[in-house]
Every structure is written in structure tokens, then in C-alpha cells.
Amino acid sequence: MRKVRVVLASGSPRRRELLMQVGLEPVIVLSHVEEVIKSQEPAQVVRELSLQKAVDVAGRIENGYFDEERREEHLENAVVIGADTVVTVDGRILGKPGTRAEAEAMIRLLQNREHQVYTGVAMIFGDTGEKVVFAEKTNVFVYPMSEEQIHRYVDTGESMDKAGAYGIQGTFAAYIRGIEGDYNNVVGLPIGQVCQELMARGFKVF
């Protein structure tokens, strides 16, 4: 099996940690693409956005993002991974809150009910140019929350850089009643499926 070199088109520390958990230490190259959404269907939205990010970063690498001394190192057996996560409730897509008031409003929508988390992943394999794009859905069930509990959670600061205004791996775990599906998908990357795609192509994961 071949050793894989992962380029992660995301600045998310959670996605980086999930890759490192399975022995993959990614190079971080942030995407600068202007995101264009052409669908209202959540799974399609995250597939489109993850692919836009991966294509942007793959193109920048091909055009000399790394200096010549390091270029071959990062393109040989490389895979560029783009990802995007959204939270939906009643078909409404919730992104990252822009203000505290928006964060509190999102948590009110999610408490005492079920919602869905979708993560799209795009993988571009440098040696063949193959593109693999998929989306994973996880159902999440949240306990009832009082206004005081909502305020206290938003006070932690966890809400502001997360889709749906919460992080399941943080203090919001106190309000998670259960999930159906992949837990890591809610964190930000369905790492199991990513590894399966790599191993199916002869790459070593850990």
C-alpha cells in the first residue's frame, strides 16, 4: 500500500484532528474560492461547496503554491480533501451565526427536537485526477433547554465558528440526547468514509 499525502482545503482544527486521529497529518491550504450555491437540497449544497474548495486548492497547488523544492513532495501520491458542513431543521439550512442573537436563535430552533447534520466531502487524487464527492447525514436529538441554559451555552463562545451554533464535541454534549449515524460527521468530517475511499485506492491510512 502507498503512503498518502493529504492536503486539507479547510482551516477547521476539528477536521485536522480527525485526520490525525487515523494517522494522517494533513498540510493545510485554505481555499479562497467564492462559494456559489446552486441548490437548496442540503446534501447537494455540501457536495457542491466541498468540491469548489477542493478544486480551488488543487488548482493552486498545480500552479505552484509550494516552492519547487517542496512541490514534488506534496503532489506525489497526494489527495486534496475539501469539506463543508451544514445543519438543517425543518428543511432550513443553518450556517454559522454572525451574531450572538443569531446563535441563540439557532439553539432555540434545535432544542427539544431532532435536526440533521450534513457534511459533504470532495477528494481529488493527484496521481490520477479522479474526483470523489459524497455527503453524509446524521440525525441529532437535543434535550429541552431553558433560556438560561441557552444563554450560558452561547457565553462559552463555542457557537460562533460552527454550523448550527453548536459543537457536539464541546460543552453542548450536555444537551445531546442521542444521534443516528456517524458522530464524526457532526464534528465535521466522516473520517471512516474518507479512510475507506483512500484504502480502496491502495493508500495506507495508519
- Three-point CA angle 30, 33, 48, nearest 5°: 105
Q: Does the active-site annotation cover 84?
A: yes
CA 16 to chain centre: 10
Asked if residues 17 and 191 have their Cβ atoms less than 8 Å apart, the reply is no
Among residues 195, 196, 8, 178, the alpha carbon closest in space to that of 84 is found at 8
Given a contact cutoff of 8 angstroms between Cβ atoms, the answer to whether 190 and 179 are in contact is no
Contact between 190 and 121 (Cβ < 8 Å): yes
Residues 134 and 47: beta-carbon distance below 8 Å: yes
42 in Cβ contact with 118 (< 8 Å): yes
Q: Which of 56, 67, 84, 161 is catalytic?
A: 84
Asked if 71 and 141 touch (Cβ cutoff 8 Å), the reply is no
- What residues are labeled active site? 84
